[in-house]
């Protein structure tokens, strides 16, 4: 039986987004504050996912051996380093989160049966790399606060109470929603980016956070005047809103995850279709409701 195991590691390092072939003004325009000399630092969190058959001792791999490999090949070299100089790969392609994850994969692949490298630059920005050439995934997280009422407009109050319970109370209730948006794309061989991060954050702000924050969804978002604003439907609607503008940035929307509360979250996996008319079946919603 095959099993995937995950090993966590961490390192602290600095980097700078700077292309010598560009002027100072051009670098500042392209990379913003990340172009400032002498760079800036992060406490990186690394997760390495490995696959294999369970042995007679109930293990895929001896995690002590895995720890040693990760330390020898990655963390001992990157910890307290200036990433632009520490590995030759970062001379050619800048050490963005997604590119660091890709190069870590390359360093570990000869030694470990990898299925995924996940690297957190901070709790609101992380990348996933699965060994597919220059393709990577970048995730950002944000939040908004909103109220809603779960009640189908075609049903009586009694029927709605039977389906939605306390969530059907007429004056609604609120949540601090946590939103994670994952995009997929090719790492640019020079900048190391799959998408302009500032532009991506602005799209999410303009299309979701600003119009959704501090609203009563049923009344302030016209879409939910006829559609019940469950976590699933909100996530599905957000995926429809974001698909086209993210595509214009040169990436593809891969996943929208909406956390309504610690006990309730859902994920929408987006297809490659050009249409914004997304249906639930095509997007494989996954709901955990307690």
Q: Is the distance from CB of 252 to CB of 209 less than 8 angstroms?
A: no
Specify which residues 147 forms β-bridges with.
174, 216
Active-site residue numbers? 167, 214, 260
Distance in angstroms (rounded) separating the CA atoms of residues 268 and 68: 37
Query: What are phi and psi for residue 17, nearest 5 degrees?
Result: -90, 105
Q: Which two tokens stand for residue 256?
A: 């929208």
Q: Is the distance from CB of 242 to CB of 180 less than 8 angstroms?
A: no
Q: Is the distance from CB of 23 to CB of 62 less than 8 angstroms?
A: no
Q: What is the DSSP letter of 221?
A: S
Distance in angstroms (rounded) separating the CA atoms of residues 117 and 103: 10
Within 8 A by CB and 6+ apart from 277, the residues are 240
Q: What are the C-alpha distances in Å from 177 to residues 144, 232, 260, 262, 285?
A: 5, 12, 5, 10, 17
Quote the crossing angle between the two packed helices 231-248 and 197-204, to the nearest 10°: 140
């Amino acid at each position: 039986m095959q099993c995937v195991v995950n090993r966590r590691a961490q390192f602290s390092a600095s980097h700078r987004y700077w292309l010598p072939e560009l002027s100072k003004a051009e670098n500042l325009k392209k990379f913003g504050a990340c172009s400032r000399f002498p760079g800036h630092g992060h406490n990186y969190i690394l997760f390495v996912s490995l696959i294999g058959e369970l042995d007679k001792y109930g293990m895929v791999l001896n995690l002590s051996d895995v720890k040693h490999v990760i330390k020898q090949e990655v963390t001992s070299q990157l910890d307290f380093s200036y990433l632009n100089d520490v590995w030759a790969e970062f001379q050619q392609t800048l050490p963005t989160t997604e590119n660091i994850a890709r190069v870590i994969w390359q360093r570990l692949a000869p030694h470990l049966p990898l299925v995924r490298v996940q690297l957190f630059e901070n709790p609101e920005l992380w990348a996933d790399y699965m060994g597919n050439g220059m393709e990577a995934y970048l995730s950002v997280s944000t939040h908004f606060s909103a109220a809603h009422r779960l009640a189908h407009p075609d049903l009586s109050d009694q029927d709605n109470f039977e389906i939605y319970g306390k969530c059907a109370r007429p004056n609604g209730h609120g949540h601090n929603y946590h939103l994670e948006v994952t995009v997929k794309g090719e790492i640019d061989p020079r900048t190391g980016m799959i998408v302009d991060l500032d532009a991506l954050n602005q799209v999410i702000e303009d299309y979701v956070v600003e119009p959704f924050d501090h609203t009563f969804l049923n009344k302030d978002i016209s879409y939910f005047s006829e559609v019940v604003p469950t976590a699933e439907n909100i996530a599905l609607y957000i995926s429809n809103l974001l698909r086209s503008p993210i595509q214009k940035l040169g990436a593809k929307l891969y996943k929208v995850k909406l956390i309504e509360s610690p006990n309730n979250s859902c994920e929408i996996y987006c297809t490659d279709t050009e249409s914004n008319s997304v249906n639930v079946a095509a997007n494989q919603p996954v709901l955990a409701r307690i």
